[in-house]
Amino acid sequence: MTTTLSERVSQSAFDGSMLRVVLLMDLHEGAQQRFFEAYEQLRHDIASVPGHLGDQLCQSFENPSQWLITSEWASAPQYLAWVNSEEHQKQVRPLGACARSMRPLKFTVLRETGRRYEAPTTAVGVRLQDAPRLGAGIVRHALTFTVKPGSEAKVAQILSSYASPQARVDDHTRLCRTSLFMHGNRVVRAVEVRGDLMAALRHVSEQPEVRAVEEAINPYLEQDRDLADPESARMFFMRAALPAVHHLAEHGKQPREVRRHAFFYPAKPGCGSMLARFLARQDEAAAKLATSPVLSSTVFQRDDVVVRLLDVFGPADERFAAGFGIEGSRQAAVLDRLLAGTPGTGRPGPYAMDLITDRRAPAES
């Protein structure tokens, strides 16, 4: 049987695929036994987490300070629900204290040997990815946080006036684009990176111009943080992380006139994943329409905060701007039920966010 690539650049947490998570760690000298004990506790804690299928702890035979934890999950949403929880932060803190560096990697399972199952479903009822997806070499990630009411104009000024950091991180990693949006006192910062996302985020955080901006907005944050305290900074950015759970783009289509829009969808408690999945389905359907003005769409979601980023050909027409790409009364009613607030005309959201700054790195020579 011949397997072909999908026609569009895509990623999705909602395709039903099994997920393998790989955590590479380099431990502090003398921390091996403490790390091993922390892992033993962690593996018992997560054994009953929904979607967790199992894990392995591996130690390098070439360098005993290097360790590898691999885990299997029935689906990406189940893993994300755990990894974004406060409970997860508590559970992995002892592991983090043992490591000088940690690098998490996430993969959907495409093919597998050595187990008795009939593709594309495993013995535990988990679906394997049907075909390879097409990639563009770009990783998307976002951060979101809130500032004190009344400080919005000052924060917007600070966030729009900083000097862009150097785009080149190393021979393999480059910061491609940073887009900042606000709605009310909520800030969303979306980044696009070619190469290693974690390396790019570390690079950005170390730049003097970026650190100056972060220090300048500190007094206005609703959640206190101390950037001089590594644990305080780590916890803030972990809570602020807004992962991309769905992305779709036409392959090779690069029009000259593209405008970026962001929409904030406050979900009802516990409905964030369902809302993100609903928006992903709408974007998949819209991508099949030749008349769609949307070049690419990305859905970011953490808990009940959902943000949709759209790159649109030219200005959005009235129909698109009013409906946010949601067509028909049935789809509008489903969206209404998932959003926080009173259904009907009194419901809050979705909200069009204000673009504060959108910066692209200079083209590589």
- Tell me the pLDDT tens digit for each residue of 29-71: 989 899 999 999 999 989 889 999 999 999 999 998 899 999 9
* Structure confidence by residue, pLDDT tens digits, 284-322: 887 777 777 788 899 999 999 999 999 887 665 544 544
**What pLDDT, on the 0 to 100 scale, is given for residue 340?**
87
Please indicate, yes or no, if residue 29 is contained in any of the structural domains.
yes
Same domain, 58 and 171: no
Domains held by the chain: number:
2
User: 186-219 pLDDT, tens per residue?
Assistant: 999 999 888 887 777 777 777 888 888 888 999 9
Q: Token digits for 168?
A: 């080149």
Distance of CA 322 to the CA centre of its chain: 26
Residue 188 and residue 254 in one domain: yes
- Whether omega before 120 lies within 30 degrees of 0, making that bond cis, reads yes
Are 82 and 173 contained in the same domain? no
Contact 249, 8 (CB under 8 A): yes
Same domain membership, residue 289 and residue 154: yes
Q: Does residue 115 surpass a pLDDT of 60?
A: no
> Is there a single domain that holds both residue 199 and residue 299?
yes
Pair 41, 186 in one domain: no
Separation in Å, CA 156 to CA 42, 180, 216, 217, 279: 41, 9, 11, 10, 28
Q: In the predicted model, what is the mean pLDDT of residues 111-120?
A: 58
pLDDT of residue 321: 44
Same domain (yes/no): 64, 173? no
How far CA 245 is from CA of 81, 82, 242, 323, 337, in Å, comes to 12, 14, 9, 22, 21
Q: CA–CA separation, 25 vs 32, rounded Å?
A: 11
Residue 348 lies in a domain: yes
CB-neighbour burial class of residue 182 (10 A; exposed 0-12, middle 13-18, buried 19+): buried
Tell me which residue range forms the domain holding 286: 137-365
CA distances from 58 to 29, 203, 234, 365 (A): 17, 29, 25, 41
Neighbours of 15 (CB within 10 A): 16
- Answer whether residue 122 is part of any domain: no
Whether residue 252 has pLDDT greater than 80: no
Q: Are 175 and 200 in contact (CB under 8 A)?
A: yes
In a domain, 317, yes or no: yes
Same-domain pairing of 39 and 179: no
Instruction: Give the DSSP letter of residue 61.
Output: S
Q: Residue 341 maps to which CATH number?
A: 3.30.70.100
If you count them, how many residues does the chain have? 365
User: Are residues 67 and 174 located together in one domain of the fold?
Assistant: no
Q: Looking at the domain assignment, is residue 128 inside a domain?
A: no
Which contiguous run of DSSP H or E holds residue 25?
strand 19-27
- Residues contacting residue 362 through CB under 8 Å, at least 6 positions apart: 167
Question: Rounded to whole angstroms, how far apart are CA atoms 262 and 47?
Answer: 38
1 vs 158, residue with greater confidence: 158
Shared-domain flag, residues 88 and 154: no
Q: SS3 of 266, please?
A: strand
* 53 and 145 housed in the same domain: no
186 and 43 belong to one structural domain: no
Q: Torsions phi, psi of 11, nearest 5? A: -150, 150
Cα 22 versus chain centre, distance: 17
Domain end among 90, 108, 126: 108
